[in-house]
Chain A
Amino acid sequence: MIEIHLQHQGAFEVGQQVKGTLIWTPDSDTLPRSILVSLGWRTEGRGFVDRQRVASMSPTVNRVVAGRPTMIPFAVELPLEGPMSYVGSLMRIIWELTVDIEKPWAIDEHLTIGLIVVPRGLVERTAAASREGLVIDE
């Protein structure tokens, strides 16, 4: 079983690091062939699908015990140019953090979670606006 715990709650800004811990509870003592944490976006909607993996890392573990959770920290960075998450009438842009654990002679394990990516400076701008009692114009 895989669980992902992110350090940061809520939306991420472009350029920000996505840090967290991958908690993997293996069902046997066998070491995995590979663990891959990847960050990417894909489109959905009326058009053909575009997708891109923008960052990935391959943590390695030296020992696993069946039934005991293994904590694997990770950090991947969102690119500065985005894209930001988007929901339009013809297309959507969806960000995903995916974990793939490839196991020898066993069914591989995968987990994908969605992320919300907003423009750089939006969080600061919203905080400043709320401090001043302003409403950000939608």
Chain B
Amino acid sequence: MNQQSGGIGVSKSIMPTVRSTKTSDGVRVEARQDVQDSPVFLYSFGTFLTISSLVFGGLFFYLFGPAWYTFIWVIAALIGLMLIRSGNEATKLAKTYGPPALYIIETQLPLRLSQRFRVRYQQPVMRDVRLISISATLLCQEWVHSVRGRGQGRTIETSVVWKGQLPTQTVIPIVNNELSVEWDAEVPLSQPASFVAEHNKVEWYLRVVLQAESMPVSNVVFPLIVRPEVMQ
């Protein structure tokens, strides 16, 4: 009996890609940046939605009078205004805080299950603000791409698998216009490792929430990688 091994195709990696660099302070992880959260997108899309809704709403009102479908444009205009307001808040945050950075100290990415690790969150503070609190949450989340309703549309569903709240700090040291906060965290042994496929994902994040007086809440998300290996 002969055997031919092989026939093994090139497998696609199922580990997520995270933008990170090795520095003397540890591994620097870049925050996740969603286009839809950027001030430019929020302002431009909000303004477009508001103006077009008002124009079309006015036209419909002029042609058909106060019918129910005239008011859909009012709702669309309100959504546009809310986007502009969000754009305002994003601009205010961008002018107050510099780019955030997360350092994973004395360990490497990817992390492993049951691994304890220390992180340092650093962010320039460019204006005089009174910081109230900073908190961080380590979380694992499922993400699936599914069909909505009777197969008419596609949607993304998420579910938090596990989350661990790290201690909230109310005394936030700012040295040379930069805030710096450290936390100790642990990846639980019983949780899944990172997994990324086309329609299904298990993702790990560290979410940092910063609150300051008279400022919108700053919410920064750092993607992490956990490999299926137990820390001995």
Q: Which A positions have Cβ atoms within 8 angstroms of B?
A: 14, 36, 38, 43, 45-50, 52-62, 72-75, 79-84, 86, 88-91, 93, 118-122, 124-125, 136-138
Instruction: Find B189's partner among A36, A79, A82, A136 (CB 8 Å cutoff).
Output: A136
**Contacts A53-B9, A119-B229 given: A83-B1 contact, CB under 8 Å?**
no
Q: Which B positions have Cβ atoms within 8 angstroms of A?
A: 1-9, 11-15, 113-114, 142-147, 157-159, 161, 188-190, 192-193, 195, 197-200, 202, 227-232
**Whose C-beta in chain A lies nearest to the C-beta of B13?**
A81
**Contacts A59-B1, A119-B113 given: A91-B200 contact, CB under 8 Å?**
yes
**How far is B9's CA from A54's CA once the two chains are assembled, in angstroms?**
7
- Measured CB to CB, the closest approach of chain B to A116, in angstroms, equals 13
State whether B7 touches A57 (Cβ < 8 A): yes
**Contacts A43-B197, A61-B1, A84-B228 given: A91-B14 contact, CB under 8 Å?**
no
State whether A50 touches B197 (Cβ < 8 A): yes
**How far is B189's CA from A93's CA once the two chains are assembled, in angstroms?**
18
A52 cross-chain contacts in B, Cβ below 8 A? 11-12, 14, 197
Instruction: Find A14's partner among B142, B228, B232 (CB 8 Å cutoff).
Output: B228
Query: Lowest 10 CB-CB distances: which A-B pairs, in order?
Result: A47-B144, A50-B197, A121-B230, A48-B199, A82-B228, A119-B228, A120-B229, A84-B228, A57-B5, A83-B195
State whether A122 touches B230 (Cβ < 8 A): yes
**How far is B200's CA from A79's CA once the two chains are assembled, in angstroms?**
19
**How far is B110's CA from A81's CA once the two chains are assembled, in angstroms?**
11
- Measured CB to CB, the closest approach of chain A to B190, in angstroms, equals 5
- Measured CB to CB, the closest approach of chain A to B228, in angstroms, equals 4
Give the number of A-B contacts (CB < 8 Å). Answer: 136
A75 cross-chain contacts in B, Cβ below 8 A? 5
**Whose C-beta in chain A lies nearest to the C-beta of B110?**
A81
**Whose C-beta in chain A lies nearest to the C-beta of B195?**
A83
State whether A86 touches B7 (Cβ < 8 A): no
Q: Show 25 residue pairs from A and B whose CB-CB distance is below 8 angstroms, ordered by the A residue.
A: A14-B229, A36-B7, A43-B199, A43-B200, A47-B144, A47-B199, A48-B144, A48-B145, A52-B14, A56-B6, A56-B8, A57-B5, A57-B6, A58-B6, A59-B4, A60-B2, A62-B1, A62-B2, A80-B227, A83-B202, A86-B192, A88-B159, A90-B144, A90-B157, A120-B228
**How far is B228's CA from A125's CA once the two chains are assembled, in angstroms?**
13
B3 cross-chain contacts in A, Cβ below 8 A? 57, 59-60, 73-74
**Whose C-beta in chain B lies nearest to the C-beta of A50?**
B197
A89 cross-chain contacts in B, Cβ below 8 A? 142, 159, 161
**How far is B18's CA from A23's CA once the two chains are assembled, in angstroms?**
45
**How far is B127's CA from A25's CA once the two chains are assembled, in angstroms?**
78
B193 cross-chain contacts in A, Cβ below 8 A? 82-84, 119
**Whose C-beta in chain A lies nearest to the C-beta of B225?**
A81
**How far is B228's CA from A118's CA once the two chains are assembled, in angstroms?**
8
- Measured CB to CB, the closest approach of chain B to A128, in angstroms, equals 8
**How far is B8's CA from A37's CA once the two chains are assembled, in angstroms?**
11
- Measured CB to CB, the closest approach of chain A to B222, in angstroms, equals 21
**Whose C-beta in chain A lies nearest to the C-beta of B9?**
A53
**Whose C-beta in chain A lies nearest to the C-beta of B114?**
A125
